[in-house]
Structure 1
Amino acid sequence: MPEHIAPAPSRVGDLITMAARSLRLTSRNAEALLISLTLPVILMLLFVYLFGGAIDTGTAYVTYVVPGVLLLCAGFGASLTAQTVSTDMSSGAIDRFRSMDVSGAAVLTGHVTASLARNVVSTALVLAVAFAIGFRPVAGLREWLLAAGVVVMFVLAISAVSAVIGLLARTQEGASGFTFFMTFLPYPSSAFVPVDTMPGWVQGFAENQPVTPVIETLRALLLGGPAGSNALLAAAWCGGIFVVSVLLARVLFHRRVR
């Protein structure tokens, strides 16, 4: 086997090690972790109890809003990925890893895997609070598993984008600022109000951005009803974003470490 190609067990071991390291880094950033876990819950409570009575969605507002809040979780959780990647690139950690023959792919994949783990916790927290305040889905086991797959697909896509942002940004503050645009995307979508209640020029954007078909697919799975073309659109958006982000991350990483 050529010396520059690590055996498969070694690559898997590097990935596990880097994911565990990223989780440890997250646990040490208690303030950011607390915000990413609790802010989606606070926003859900805010919308349900302050604005829900004034918004007609044809169903209990908490039932309508939960799928969108789940994607807010992904955005807040993924923002930590951008910050930790940026820190690695600017602190000299990558040089140390390369001296130990740890690939850049393992480092970045570790960050994305840690993001997925964080989002599992935040999603479970949001669902627990949602059930406590009246969320009543009609999904069976199959629909729950499919919904979990949709959330994982979205988390992987947005975490890959965050890794790219972390490679572009030179500081943690810059990385955090760039990720604001990702966390903003659920708002001009069908997350909190029906798209047809928005001004016409906003509707065009809301109907043709990646978050809306993901939310509508989750609603169809959890609350019943046809997903229509939304499931295919959600898969196409998430798959396309993930592939493009991986390719960009590879190019950017090699440029940063030359």
Structure 2
Amino acid sequence: MTTNNELLADITGRIRSAEKQSVANIVEIGRLLELAKEALEHGAFLPWLQSEFAWSERSALNYRRVFHFAEALKKGKFGRKRDIATLDLTLSALYDLADLANDAVAMPDIFRDEVLALIKLALKTRVSRSVASNFLKEYRRKKDEKEHTESEEDRDDEGDKDDSEGDDDGDTDEEGESGDGDKDDGTPEAAIRSGVRTLADRTNLVTQWHEALKDFDPAKLRDVIVSLQAVLQKIEVKSAAKSAADRAESRTKRLFH
């Protein structure tokens, strides 16, 4: 006789299997959409989506990005080679992670570590959209806090070095006055600080520079970048739609005039 616990265990297993199949279907749809986009003329993809499936550009983009993410995982671009089915993600979390992975390809210094951290989490436990969102907020907070602390320590070290050099010869050149309290460790934050520092040195804004750096917030910069990407995407979608409409109008004029 089958107990409720046995029945529920069987149901759970079947649902998980069906969910993994859903992920495989999403990957396959994304692959086919990529093929269709390549086969269609420029500007014809969106009208084709609408006429065949009544899908939005965002819906198609979700499928395509999951496909690209699955391929990246297979090739080991995010750590060890693995199948996307090994990640315990809800579908909404999968779409979000695929979006983040796409950002990581363009800006690895900012987003790659976040993708790796979420992959590691999804290998250990179930990850929903809310779980991923809260995890990233805490991850970014700790990262920004660490970078801020390291930046403060670098400035203190450089300040001590400048004081020591000043005591040695009693002369201070222009570079000695401004110092270089920001080591470029290869991160976008360090590159920005370096650029602002250069601007400050050239415009004699050394005091203002130190004040500005205190308020520097990498998290805000990341949010700005993501927002600008969303705006750019909307512009590209509108541009593609306009191009398709212009071509349709041109064909109509050739037919009837």
TM superposition score category, shorter chain reference: under 0.3
Q: Which has the higher contact order (CA 8 A, sep 6+)?
A: 1
* TM superposition score normalised by structure 2: 0.28
Rg (Cα) greater in structure: 2
